[in-house]
Structure 1
């Protein structure tokens, strides 16, 4: 292998193998912890990376050892012709896993095409099974369309579907147990997520420590810590005694996982963020549209990885990150 293509390893000896790729900052929901009601400061479509630009950047990342890509947003299914992009990315040499994070409101219309295009896995955001609570959190009664999306994903043949549930004190605590029962019964992996102080919306969300919740669920379902992580992501998983079901816990506040962080995020406008909770970044769009060759882009990516911080400071500086989650990219 040429020295040009040695893997991306940061100064803390973490190997970068995972790219979270935002294809839009738009969303059809207004979840209380994500986008403020009435927000209109979205990126101009002219500034979105084109499919050609995305394919080029992801191809370079793949040459540098990034083997996993997750399509995110906003809501990625609002980007026109997304299955076409998925098909192009899944064909790239070195890319072993292409997944999608979605709120599933549009999934019933696209599940079969996404599976055919090479999307391997789905993460679906759903914070309650109560229609009233879903409407309270997301801004509209989206539960029927989400459940229809889940049914379509099952029929399309997606395996190991994950349900992402942001746990919020005083909002949906009572919904955690019913969600766990629902997921285990249907063969989904539930992932409970601590709210992060991303922008004003994140800071206004009441944080819920998942430690006691994990103990309650472990007792209720006879869960055991799982030695092997699933898919190299941030969750710590606990499995049922028979190994057929898992519940994951993503704990950026109570028990951060920065020491094993293997990912970077590319926003819809071509900004590469090195850490969800810090400001280090690289603006790729000017280089892509300014005629930079591949060697120049690869050198820039390597320099950027050197800026990746050791850890976030959500606890020490909760007011630091003013950008919303949807603007960063899932």
Structure 2
């Protein structure tokens, strides 16, 4: 059981940390593990070596850090991985964090998952106060899905999505648009998602970490995808936001929402209110930059919270204006760490 960490928290609505560009930091994404039961082509190599378990923060330490961030003004918390639901005991962390929803200090606790373990946990997540989840799903064809994930079972993921819906969770489908791999499925995936009552967000592949092959072979600019869809559907720009980088349209013919995350073609940094904490206690102020702050050391070597708070505030003061992602043939990744370590 995660021991509840109980410092005095600011009331809901209290002032947030502010970065050098005047952006209030309200959103923390926390990777609880770098491990995953899939090996998606665009995310990692087939023979990925995961971190030794001793390098990971304990669930109690993750709870403590999240609680400190909430005390500093974070109002949205997203649990990510790797695949977060493969972390042993992770539901005890969700239950511990749920107290901040009950108190009103935290507005939203959400999850990004590949869906493989969702059927087992959907009802429990809903009971804790999770109201929505993002599920990564790049194909509705079982054989193609297994090829893209190298080992995923589409039926298992669809079962998880159904369980989430039955538990009352709002599901958003995330799909990475991949030239020559799933671009022919984008329209059917949108129609399916909207027919099931799910939003769909499309994502451009990002140059993070080593993968097998060259990313440029499958990089698909989303402005091309939008243009193709606009030739058949009426896309209406809307102001809907979920706290993340997606920009949404409503598809008139389906009635559903379609989001675009475009780190390559259209920088989305101007309003970034997010920072990312890894499972090792490293805080990245920007997904596309290497600058980071070590929070594990002050966390483990101080009895009080002041050293950790000071490290967090100093890190936010270094948050850059934006990332420098570029995809070029045979180029090294823009950042060396894999997405599975940083979190989605």
TM-score normalized with structure 1 length: 0.94
Task: Pick the aligned partner of 1:88 from 89, 92, 96.
Answer: 96
Structure 1 residue ranges (4+ consecutive) displaced by more than 4 angstroms after TM superposition: none
1:53 equivalent to 2:67? Answer no
Shift of 1:217: 2.3
Instruction: Determine the C-alpha separation between the residues in 2 that align with 1:244 and 1:50.
Output: 43
TM-score normalized with structure 2 length: 0.90
Gaps of 5+ in 2: 1-9
Aligned position for 1:9? 18
Shift of 1:240: 3.0
Task: Pick the aligned partner of 1:216 from 221, 228, 236.
Answer: 228
Instruction: Determine the C-alpha separation between the residues in 2 that align with 1:172 and 1:242.
Output: 22
Mapping of 1:164-183 within 5 angstroms?
A: 164-183=174-193
CA spacing shift, 1:192–1:216, aligned 2, 3 Å? same
**8 Å Cα contact 1:29-1:140 kept in structure 2:** yes
| Per-residue Cα deviation, 1:84-137 (whole angstroms, up to 9, x for no partner) | 211211212411100000000111111111111222210000001011211111
Question: Number of paired residues?
Answer: 325
Aligned position for 2:6? none
Shift of 1:297: 1.5
**8 Å Cα contact 1:218-1:224 kept in structure 2:** no
**8 Å Cα contact 1:127-1:166 kept in structure 2:** yes
Gaps of 5+ in 1: none
Which one has a larger percent helix, Structure 1 or Structure 2?
Answer: 1
| Per-residue Cα deviation, 1:198-227 (whole angstroms, up to 9, x for no partner) | 01229822210111211232343322000x
Aligned position for 2:150? 139
Q: Secondary structure at the match of 1:56?
A: helix
Q: Secondary structure at the match of 1:182?
A: helix
Mapping of 1:65-104 within 5 angstroms?
A: 65-92=73-100, 93=103, 94-104=105-115
| CA RMSD across the alignment | 1.9
Instruction: Determine the C-alpha separation between the residues in 2 that align with 1:218 and 1:50.
Output: 47
Instruction: Determine the C-alpha separation between the residues in 2 that align with 1:318 and 1:101.
Output: 27
Aligned position for 1:300? 311
Aligned position for 1:62? 70
Shift of 1:245: 1.3
Shift of 1:188: 0.4
| Per-residue Cα deviation, 1:158-190 (whole angstroms, up to 9, x for no partner) | 12x110000011111001011001011011000
Shift of 1:44: 1.8
